[in-house]
């Protein structure tokens, strides 16, 4: 529990009710929160950070934010653990309700709040790179003995 938000407040829940009611025009925010992943493949190094602005332009509300997540993954060439930084810009219109069922293109606050953790988790899992490298010039493993060629050369003869 983060003492900054008290016992009942969740830092991932962004209260936008005043903006939706037209009481304010812009609402800048920056939140750090723990993102709970269902996958065991990635270990988060620190809380996720989402910073941005909501803007009410005569009833048309926009959500613009940048999501940053530091995580650990396995290099696809040498199998060493590598720390990666995921950054993604998000841009959504916000609506309190929709007449049709196509809600994927809009953020719809529930009880006046946007769940930043749910939004972050969705985009993190959908936009992660398929493969990770510890560095661009990773030499990988020897196909014969499995030695990590980044650390030192092995004694295997190269294939012709």
pLDDT tens digits for range 90-107: 999 998 876 665 656 888
* Structural domain of 101: 3-127
Using 50 as the pLDDT threshold, list the residues of the chain that sit under it. Answer: 1-8
108 belongs to a structural domain: yes
Q: How confident is the model at residue 61, as a pLDDT?
A: 92
**52/31 Cα distance (integer angstroms):** 9
**Consecutive H or E run containing 69:** strand 60-74
20 belongs to a structural domain: yes
- The number of distinct structural domains making up the chain is 1
Is 0.75 topped by the overall pTM? yes
**19/28 Cα distance (integer angstroms):** 11
Query: What's the Cα-to-Cα distance from 137 to each of 17, 77, 78, 83, 143, rounded to whole Å?
Result: 49, 10, 11, 16, 17
45 belongs to a structural domain: yes
Q: Which residues of 84-115 are buried (b: 16+ CB within 10 A; e: fewer)?
A: bebebebebebbeeeeeeeeeeebebeeeebb
User: Residue 42, Cβ neighbours under 10 Å: how many?
Assistant: 19
Q: How confident is the model at residue 1, as a pLDDT?
A: 36
Q: How confident is the model at residue 4, as a pLDDT?
A: 41
Specify the length of the chain in residues.
160
61 belongs to a structural domain: yes
């Amino acid at each position: 529990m983060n003492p900054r938000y008290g016992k009942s407040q969740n830092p991932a829940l962004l209260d936008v009710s005043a903006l939706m009611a037209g009481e304010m025009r812009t609402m800048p925010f920056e939140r750090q929160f723990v993102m709970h992943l269902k996958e065991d493949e990635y270990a988060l190094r620190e809380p996720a950070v989402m910073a941005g602005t909501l803007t009410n332009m005569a009833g048309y509300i926009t959500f613009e934010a940048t999501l940053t997540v530091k995580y650990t993954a396995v290099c696809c060439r040498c199998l060493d653990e590598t720390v990666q930084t995921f950054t993604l810009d998000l841009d959504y219109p916000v609506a309190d309700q929709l007449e049709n069922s196509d809600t994927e293109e809009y953020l719809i606050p529930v009880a006046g709040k946007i769940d930043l953790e749910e939004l972050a988790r969705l985009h993190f899992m959908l936009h992660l790179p398929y493969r990770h490298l510890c560095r661009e010039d990773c030499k990988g493993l020897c196909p014969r003995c499995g030695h990590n060629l980044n650390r030192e050369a092995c004694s295997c003869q190269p294939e012709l």
